[in-house]
């Protein structure tokens, strides 16, 4: 009897040990570190919720969110950590820098992971978004969120100037006419209000270059075409504006601008401005009484509707300790669950084709027009010199509006400088 009892006790102990061991295996998940520079409360909490939902969805990986402050285009911190073996397993990257990061050796080619999963991201994501995530035919990041840009205009200013508040300008010619009527002068070189300052807000080189019908890069020839006649014309248009109103007077007027309630559009200092969908939240908070409308970016007659989109993407850095875990989280975050959480909480736009018509994701109706822009949205050329090209184009624009170079010379210089750097990667 004692022997039988002893055997039963031993069996019970072994069973308990096995249960504990199994329990230990169940909780011993593989750690996955996720880095993001999004430190704002809303964005951070949305990303943390996505990580929580991922952790609840499976038992193999445990994602930990780490906030790493810094510029979105500053990859030094990531490269240093990767070299030291302390880098993350998944990383939120500014999508237009994907090619540059890939060429620099900072990102893992996700194509093998995608093929093992039997997945075709090209079928799921908006075309411009997956193009930004691709370099040399390989996918290095998964599109996470996006945005589009349109023309915001103050309806009260339109009424005051005798313009139809429900009919924003659609062409460059109409834009010029509206801007002249909306501008209020105190003296010849002092202003109470500008109808438009083309380069404010999101009035970038890409914005107007595409609006005038230009192209910045020829994929077939691998040649930059920033000095395309239409882009030269877009720069000349801005230079003429600066000359007509005096760049010194414009800069003096703009020096008082700020953010939040001091935003020039909210403060009534600018009647029209090109900006992104994120501006809606600022208007709700700091300008709730501003009656405004949003239209497409005005284009040169004969040019189709245009806008451009940016956004972020999930990438797996080179040297990740858990590349499989990093990929699985990247796919989850950039998938339906992750994008729905992020869209609802931050009002950024989704990149999944199946979510483009999901107006239920937004509490406001103003987002509808930005969603409607997604089918014709453009993206900055996915190049290993993308950041350099951006900076050089910005300098060229500044040279033109300040009268330091002709638009043709400014853009020729961009092509000469950046093309040389681009060819090093082919």
Q: What is the pLDDT of residue 193?
A: 97
pLDDT digits over 62-114, tens only?
999 999 876 544 567 777 777 777 889 999 999 998 998 899 888 999 999 99
CATH number of the 149-308+385-425 domain = 3.40.190.10
Q: What is the pLDDT of residue 306?
A: 97
Structure token digits, residue 186: 């105190």
Q: What is the pLDDT of residue 27?
A: 59
Q: CATH 3.40.190.10 in the chain, residues?
A: 30-147+310-378, 149-308+385-425
Q: What is the pLDDT of residue 408?
A: 98
The parts of the chain modelled with pLDDT lower than 50 are 1-3, 5, 7, 9-10, 16-25, 72-73
pLDDT digits over 237-256, tens only?
999 999 999 999 999 999 98
Q: What is the pLDDT of residue 363?
A: 80
Q: How far apart are alpha carbons 48 and 52 in whole angstroms?
A: 6
CATH architecture of residue range(s) 30-147+310-378: 3-Layer(aba) Sandwich (3.40)
């Amino acid at each position: 009897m004692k022997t039988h009892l002893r055997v039963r006790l031993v069996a019970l102990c072994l069973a308990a040990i096995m249960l504990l061991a199994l329990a230990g295996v169940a909780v011993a998940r593989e750690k996955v570190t996720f880095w993001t520079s999004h430190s704002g409360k809303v964005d951070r909490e949305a990303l943390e919720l996505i990580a929580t939902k991922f952790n609840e969805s499976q038992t193999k990986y445990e994602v930990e969110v780490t906030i790493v402050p810094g510029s979105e285009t500053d990859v030094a911190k990531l490269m240093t950590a990767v070299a030291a073996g302390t880098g993350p397993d998944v990383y939120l990257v500014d999508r237009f820098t994907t090619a540059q990061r890939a060429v620099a050796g900072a990102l893992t080619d996700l194509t093998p992971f995608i093929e093992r999963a039997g997945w075709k991201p090209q079928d799921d994501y908006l075309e411009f978004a997956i193009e930004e995530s691709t370099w040399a035919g390989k996918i290095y990041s998964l599109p996470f969120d996006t945005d589009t840009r349109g023309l915001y205009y103050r309806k009260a200013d339109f009424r005051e100037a005798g313009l139809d508040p429900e009919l924003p300008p659609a062409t460059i010619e109409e834009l010029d006419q509206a801007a002249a009527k909306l501008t209020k002068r105190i003296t010849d070189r002092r202003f109470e209000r500008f109808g438009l300052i083309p380069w404010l807000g999101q009035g970038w080189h890409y914005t107007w270059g595409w609006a005038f019908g230009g192209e910045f890069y020829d994929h077939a020839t691998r040649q930059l075409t920033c000095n395309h006649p239409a882009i030269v014309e877009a720069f000349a248009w801005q230079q003429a504006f600066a000359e007509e109103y005096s760049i010194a007077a414009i800069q003096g007027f703009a020096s008082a601008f700020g953010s939040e309630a001091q935003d020039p559009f909210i403060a009534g200092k600018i009647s029209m401005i090109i900006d992104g969908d994120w501006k809606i939240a600022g208007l709700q908070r700091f300008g709730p009484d501003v009656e405004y409308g949003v239209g497409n970016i005005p284009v040169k007659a004969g040019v189709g509707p245009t806008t451009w989109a940016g956004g972020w993407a999930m990438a797996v850095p080179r040297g990740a300790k858990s590349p499989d875990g990093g990929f699985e989280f990247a796919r989850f975050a950039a998938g339906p669950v992750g994008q729905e959480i992020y869209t609802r909480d931050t009002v950024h736009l989704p990149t999944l084709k199946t979510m483009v018509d999901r107006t239920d994701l937004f509490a406001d109706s103003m987002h509808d027009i930005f969603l409607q822009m997604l089918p014709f949205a453009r993206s900055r050329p996915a190049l290993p010199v993308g950041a350099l090209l951006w900076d050089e184009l910005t300098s060229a624009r500044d040279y033109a509006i300040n009268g330091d170079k002709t638009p043709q010379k400014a853009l020729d210089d961009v092509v000469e400088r950046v093309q040389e750097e681009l060819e090093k990667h082919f």
